[in-house]
């Protein structure tokens, strides 16, 4: 307890007659070897955590005695555990704010009602501010859950765990064995035709997810009094309120309750993988895939991410035995600023020991950074859907994370907490502001432009099949050298061969008709001659097509066709790319430059840049004599640069080639000097990034340019 027993503000509370509300229940919890008490109002589901000593004092409050009388008795009977007057004031203030006290004094009741209304108004403002995450309660399922207690215990016990484990292992093995097919099908997961089914699976899984929380909560005696609908980014999804689990004495019961929702989704994901692997393409196959995708990846990214305040966050908070981990992490960083920047000696850390200090410091930093990343991502998504809404979210974020904290900082500088160090605090804030403005708006930082591209051999040619046919034989393997005119593959086309035979037979018949007409001096000679000419042309065309079934190389080089052998015995359509003949003696680099970046390159006329190839980031290749083709293009030089090939450039996914970009761009190309390739492996088709060093500019200028380019690119303003 504090060494200062008496307080100058004691007169404000000493005459009050207050006590805990009758609806408040007390549960014991253990945190890092210490006993704490959780005060829970069973009516409003509000919680308050207090130490054992503070809880003993709280429970001794009664309305037939004043606070001063209760405190004096407590000091007499428990002198070592008695709180100081200042601690009593803080304790009563916190209980008052949580609406856990009542009083027989009318004035105090009015204050409590006023506080309750203020709290409700604060909650309402919070809901308005978080309009992208609204909750609407619909039903109290507590009585219904009580009636199915035997089912709940069966589905949350050890037998259910064994079934869950077996299904999960089976599903993981199945998914691993079919990983290539999974990757292929996942590319169409966000297609327009699949989005309705994706939402149906999402809503259904979330219903079972919330049922998992409710079942485990009821298993350990908790109350589940709310079932409703939440609108997450305007998407309606079910939810239940299982917050009564926060009062469970055993922390593993609390962790199990938080994990139950993800456990249910993992089970359905595993079952979905099994069904997907054993069904043919169709509705059942697609639904099973969607369930597998949502129950695994989606569950891990959101509910399984402890930096977001979903299931994994509460699990981590209970595991670390630090309630309100997020709030304490933010308060810990406020303490750092107050203590070490403003110089407030009286500032106290939220950490009670070294272990908690590390937890709060690290989590407070990571959660803030991640929240900013998620907020920017959501804002960009909303701006794509409706520009004003996205801008509103960004403005609200700027206000909540920057403007409001600055306002609170101003109030803090004027408050009593900095009375002894106000001069230093104001000077520190001013100096910090000057440093930040200087670094952001004045000091130039290195700037550059990057473009993604691909290595191409100067001597290369694609080999296409010019006539429909079935791949019969391959004469050259992938990676082997070929010479110009060398036979690579042969195809067969029985229909083509039959048609050649028919045409030749028709020609024989026409020749006979022509000879007969000569002996008879017939008037049909001219028409028969035209028929013969037509048959000759047709036969010649068919034989040319038949000759095209023998595929030969049109240059010397290396044969590149890693997947062609998989088509052996299959029918291949005309125009299909069989492979490529590549001369590996010299290379060039072809890069794609977005329109908003090309303007800078055109103005500055770059003659030099650095190239880093994929997987060889430690090797820089200096490129000179760079040529920017001054014509817009829509076709990528390689499918590997687009989304479908793992690249960064948005492409039209409805086109099978995967090379048509959604927006036009410029191409630049340059030769790769052979003298700089020592220790660097250069292969035809290898991707890389070219970097142009531009004049240094302040961070504010770079940020403005990037934002301006983003708006022009995505929103055509």
Query: Helix 525-547 vs helix 494-520: angle between axes, to the nearest 10 degrees?
Result: 160
Is 107 a residue whose pLDDT tops 70?
Answer: no
Mean pLDDT value of segment 649-673: 78
Nearest to 245 by CA among 256, 236, 237: 256
User: What does the pLDDT read at residue 411?
Assistant: 85
Is 16 a residue whose pLDDT tops 70?
Answer: yes
Percentage of the chain surpassing pLDDT 70?
A: 87
CA within 13 Å, CB half, 326: 14
Is 106 a residue whose pLDDT tops 90?
Answer: no
Look at residue 449 and tell me if it is in a domain: no
Is 604 a residue whose pLDDT tops 80?
Answer: no
User: What does the pLDDT read at residue 75?
Assistant: 81
More confident residue, 31 or 589: 589
Q: Are 174 and 312 within one domain?
A: yes
User: What does the pLDDT read at residue 109?
Assistant: 47
The structural domain count of the chain equals 5
pLDDT band at 2 (very low <50, low <70, confident <90, very high): very low
Dihedral sign for Cα atoms in the order 253, 258, 264, 270: negative
Q: How far apart are CA 215 and CA 222, in angstroms?
A: 9
Is 87 a residue whose pLDDT tops 60?
Answer: yes
Q: Are 36 and 165 within one domain?
A: no
Beta bridge partners, 35, equal 30
Nearest to 444 by CA among 696, 702, 701, 694: 696
Which of 16-20, 260-264, 530-534 tops mean pLDDT?
Answer: 260-264
Look at residue 453 and tell me if it is in a domain: no
Q: Are 499 and 639 within one domain?
A: no
Mean pLDDT value of segment 111-121: 54
End position of a domain, from candidates 321, 344, 361: 321
Mean pLDDT value of segment 647-660: 72
Tokens 């009062």 sit on residue: 247
Look at residue 3 and tell me if it is in a domain: no
Q: Are 544 and 603 within one domain?
A: no
Nearest to 287 by CA among 201, 356, 371, 368: 201
Which range is least confidently modeled, 504-513, 564-573, 653-662, 668-677? 653-662
pTM comes to 0.66
User: What does the pLDDT read at residue 407?
Assistant: 86
Q: Are 183 and 304 within one domain?
A: yes
pLDDT band at 586 (very low <50, low <70, confident <90, very high): confident
Look at residue 454 and tell me if it is in a domain: no
Mean pLDDT value of segment 554-572: 88
User: What does the pLDDT read at residue 43?
Assistant: 63
pLDDT band at 268 (very low <50, low <70, confident <90, very high): very high
Q: Are 636 and 515 within one domain?
A: no
Is 263 a residue whose pLDDT tops 90?
Answer: yes
Residues in CB range of 71: below 8 A, 6 or more apart: 14, 57, 82, 83, 85, 88
User: What does the pLDDT read at residue 56?
Assistant: 80
End position of a domain, from candidates 127, 152, 174: 127
Nearest to 588 by CA among 477, 673, 467: 673
pLDDT band at 1 (very low <50, low <70, confident <90, very high): very low
- Quick one: which H or E segment has residue 30? strand 24-31
Q: Are 640 and 707 within one domain?
A: yes
Query: Helix 325-336 vs helix 311-320: angle between axes, to the nearest 10 degrees?
Result: 70
Mean pLDDT value of segment 40-48: 66
End position of a domain, from candidates 321, 337, 353: 321
- Residue span of the structural domain in which 382 resides: 327-442
Mean pLDDT value of segment 55-75: 83
Q: How far apart are CA 275 and CA 457, in angstroms?
A: 46
Dihedral sign for Cα atoms in the order 393, 394, 397, 398: negative
Look at residue 359 and tell me if it is in a domain: yes
Mean pLDDT value of segment 678-682: 77
Is 549 a residue whose pLDDT tops 90?
Answer: yes
Beta bridge partners, 47, equal 40
Look at residue 448 and tell me if it is in a domain: no
Q: Are 277 and 343 within one domain?
A: no
Specify whether the CB–CB gap between 90 and 6 falls below 8 A: no
Look at residue 455 and tell me if it is in a domain: no
pLDDT single digits (tens) 176-199: 998 888 877 776 666 667 778 888
Q: What is the dihedral of CA 611, 615, 616, 617, to 10 degrees?
A: 70
pLDDT band at 42 (very low <50, low <70, confident <90, very high): low
Q: Are 421 and 495 within one domain?
A: no
Mean pLDDT value of segment 511-532: 80
Nearest to 473 by CA among 562, 554, 565: 565
Beta bridge partners, 669, equal 590, 627
Nearest to 685 by CA among 609, 610, 579, 553: 579
**Average pLDDT of every residue of the chain:** 82
State how far Cα 673 lies from the chain centre.
Answer: 40
Phi first, then psi: what are they for 98, rounded to 5°? -85, 0
């Amino acid at each position: 307890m504090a060494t200062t027993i008496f307080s100058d503000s004691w007169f404000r509370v000493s005459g009050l007659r207050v006590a805990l509300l009758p609806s408040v229940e007390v549960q014991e919890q253990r945190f890092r070897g210490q006993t704490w008490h959780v005060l829970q109002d069973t009516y409003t589901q509000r919680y308050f955590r207090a130490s054992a000593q503070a809880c003993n004092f709280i429970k001794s409050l009664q309305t037939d005695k004043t606070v001063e009388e209760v405190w004096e008795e407590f000091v007499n009977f428990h002198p070592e555990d008695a709180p100081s007057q200042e601690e009593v004031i803080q304790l009563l203030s916190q209980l008052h704010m949580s609406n856990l006290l009542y009083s027989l004094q009318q004035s105090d009741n009015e204050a409590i009602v006023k506080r309750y209304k203020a709290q409700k108004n604060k909650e309402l403002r919070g809901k308005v501010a978080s309009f992208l995450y609204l909750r609407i309660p619909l039903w109290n399922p507590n009585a219904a859950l009580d009636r199915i207690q035997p089912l709940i215990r069966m589905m949350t016990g050890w037998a259910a765990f064994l079934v869950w484990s077996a299904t999960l292992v089976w599903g993981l093995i199945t998914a691993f064995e079919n990983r290539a097919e999974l990757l292929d099908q996942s590319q169409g997961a966000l297609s327009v035709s699949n989005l309705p089914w994706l939402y149906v699976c999402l809503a259904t899984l979330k219903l079972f997810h919330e049922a998992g929380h409710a079942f485990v909560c009821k298993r350990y005696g908790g109350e589940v009094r709310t079932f409703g609908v939440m609108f997450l980014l305007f998407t309606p999804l079910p939810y239940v309120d299982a917050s009564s689990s926060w009062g469970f004495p055993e922390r593993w019961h609390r962790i199990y309750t938080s994990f139950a929702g993800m456990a249910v989704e993992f089970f359905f994901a595993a079952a979905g993988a099994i069904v997907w692997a054993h069904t043919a393409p169709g509705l059942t196959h697609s639904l099973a895939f969607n369930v597998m995708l949502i129950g695994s990846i989606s569950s891990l990214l959101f509910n399984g991410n402890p930096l977001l305040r979903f299931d994994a966050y509460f699990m981590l908070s209970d595991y670390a035995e630090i309630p309100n981990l997020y709030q304490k992490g933010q308060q810990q960083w406020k303490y750092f600023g107050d203590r070490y920047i403003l110089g407030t000696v009286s500032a106290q850390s939220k950490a009670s020991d070294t272990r908690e200090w590390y937890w709060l410091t690290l989590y407070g930093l990571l959660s803030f950074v991640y929240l900013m990343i998620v907020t920017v991502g959501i804002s960009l998504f909303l701006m794509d859907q409706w520009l004003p809404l996205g801008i509103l979210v960004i403005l609200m974020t700027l206000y909540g994370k920057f403007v409001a904290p600055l306002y609170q900082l101003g109030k803090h500088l004027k408050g009593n907490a900095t009375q002894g160090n106000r001069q230093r605090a104001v000077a520190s804030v001013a100096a910090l502001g000057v440093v930040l403005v200087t670094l952001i708006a004045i000091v130039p930082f290195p700037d550059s432009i990057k473009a993604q591209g691909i290595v191409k051999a100067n001597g290369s040619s694609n080999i296409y099949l010019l006539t429909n046919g079935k791949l019969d034989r391959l004469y050259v393997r992938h990676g082997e050298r070929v010479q110009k005119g060398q036979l690579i593959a042969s195809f067969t086309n029985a229909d083509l061969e039959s048609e050649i035979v028919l045409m030749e037979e028709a020609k024989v018949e026409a020749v006979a008709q022509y000879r007969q007409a000569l002996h008879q001096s017939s008037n049909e000679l001219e028409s028969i001659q035209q028929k013969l000419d037509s048959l000759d042309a047709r036969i010649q065309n068919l034989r040319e097509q038949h000759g095209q079934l023998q595929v030969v190389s049109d240059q010397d080089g290396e044969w590149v066709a890693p997947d062609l052998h998989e088509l052996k015995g299959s029918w291949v359509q005309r125009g299909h790319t069989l492979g490529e003949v590549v001369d590996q003696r010299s290379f060039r680099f072809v890069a794609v430059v977005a329109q908003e970046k090309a303007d800078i390159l055109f103005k500055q006329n770059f003659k030099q840049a650095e190239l880093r190839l994929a997987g060889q980031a430690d090797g820089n290749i200096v490129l000179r004599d760079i040529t920017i083709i001054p014509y817009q293009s829509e076709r990528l030089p390689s499918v590997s640069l687009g989304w479908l090939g793992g690249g960064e450039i948005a492409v039209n996914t409805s086109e099978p080639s995967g090379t048509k970009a959604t927006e036009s761009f410029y191409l630049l190309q340059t030769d790769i000097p052979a003298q700089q390739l020592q220790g660097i492996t250069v292969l035809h088709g290898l991707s890389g990034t070219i970097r142009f060093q531009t004049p240094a500019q302040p961070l504010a200028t770079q940020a403005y340019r990037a934002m301006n380019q983003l708006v022009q690119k995505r929103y055509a303003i």
